[in-house]
Amino acid sequence: MTENTNRRTFLKIAGSTGAVGLTGLAGCAGGGGGGDGTSTNADDGGDTTANGGTTGSSDGVETITLGGSMSLTGENADLGKLYKDAYELTIQRINDNGGIEAGDGNTYELEMILRDDGTDASTSKSIYQELIDRENVDYLLGPYSSTVTLPASAVAAQNQKPMVEGGGASPEIFAQGNEWIFGLLPTANKYAKSYMDMCLAQDPTPESIAILAEDDTFSQSTAEGARNKIANTDLELVVDQTFPTGTSDLSTNLSRVKSNDADILLLCAHQKHNIILASQMETQGLNVDAAMGTVGSLNDSFKDEVGANGNYMYGPSSWAINADFEDPVYGATGDFVSAIESNYEYAPDYHSAAGEAVIITFVNAFQNVDEINPTSVRDQIRQAEFSTVYGTVAFDDTGVIDKNMLIYQWQPEPGLQITYPENVAQSSPTYPMPDWNER
């Protein structure tokens, strides 16, 4: 699909991609298979009106513009791509099937402006302000990373525009009294809970744990949640260290873990440091019963990078790829998985599913308001409950979805498996992990 992060992507594609019977969406478009996305200049199309950022085009079709920033280059580009692809494919399917029959009696197609922030908070803030001031965007797609999402959400609040995000999980984002932000990830303080519960259910039961945490908003929140969990268990916290976000060497930290003979290891960090961990655990000869990285340890790009060193690593997810949730665009979770695999040649993870749910959250609101404007849409999102490929979406009073984390493990055969909780597990955890000299 066409990508140009400096231009407006208007996803109005000829032909149908196969989704039919979409509740609340207009009738299916005719024709054969879907085409590529079409990009037009940011100043193309009709004038933006005061009616909630809706726009008329030269062919008389009404559009609603969604806009945001995303990590499309830099260290988090692999994860940013998961959101972008899910956004694009979902919007394409909606438009291919005739658009959205909104609650105001009109039918709309969706337009998206997505610009690269390189996971830089200052860049992201500028992008959102420009989208609001120059592009008249009223409905905001949140960025990736808590460090970026927190200041971006403040722009949404200052300008009274609803922002729905699937990439920021720090509790701090939702502790500001901000009525304009909605998050689809469990908050970071929940990320390690299921991992420790799983480990404590094993035989032999671990007695000690080490925490290594990146010095960023999300990772520090995750570490704090883990410490609170540990305080209510018999686990001894033998290592608790923070490392700079920019570091490319964890050997000193891992040496400390080894010298303290920690039974299990928790790395609160993003994909870059999970890759470093998988490599340097071997070179350091660090053998633990279990090791988990909180973000970026489950996607294909991580495993492609680290190869066999990624075997037996754990990671948390707010979504199960084998789930069977109903969805108004794809039909069901399995159809979404197949669509991502066929269009982009990779298996989706929870970032992908959360990205789809971001779009559906706005779609559901547009369908159920009498007048499309930022305040009405925000109020509808706050009280709505609906099903997506990601599961049931409903937000609490602070704007956070109520979800717990599943635990996956990379196993040599059959690959990535859900190992906890037991009622949805695909395989039992390989615990303890084999020592390096036994692999």
C-beta of residue 86 within 8 angstroms of C-beta of residue 7: no
To the nearest 10 degrees (0 to 180), the angle between helices 121-133 and 146-159 is 30
Lowest-confidence region among 9-23, 180-194, 298-312: 9-23
61/59 Cα distance (integer angstroms): 6
pTM of the entire predicted model: 0.81
pLDDT digits (tens, 9 = 90+) for 122-151: 999 999 999 999 999 999 999 999 999 999
* Alpha carbons 57 and 64: distance in angstroms, whole number: 11
Q: Which amino acid is it at 264?
A: I
Q: Which residues, including other chains, have CB under 8 Å from residue 204's CB and lie 6 or more apart?
A: 289, 432
Give 31-78 pLDDT, tens digit per residue: 333 333 323 233 333 333 334 467 665 456 799 999 999 999 999 999
Closest CA to 21 of 77, 116, 93: 93
Q: What mean pLDDT is predicted for residues 198-223?
A: 96
Mean pLDDT across the chain, nearest whole number? 88
Contacts of residue 90, Cβ cutoff 8 Å, sequence gap at least 6: 329, 355, 356, 359, 360
- Domains of the chain from N-terminus onward: 62-186+321-394 (3.40.50.2300), 189-317+405-424 (3.40.50.2300)
The answer to whether residue 24 scores a pLDDT higher than 70 is no
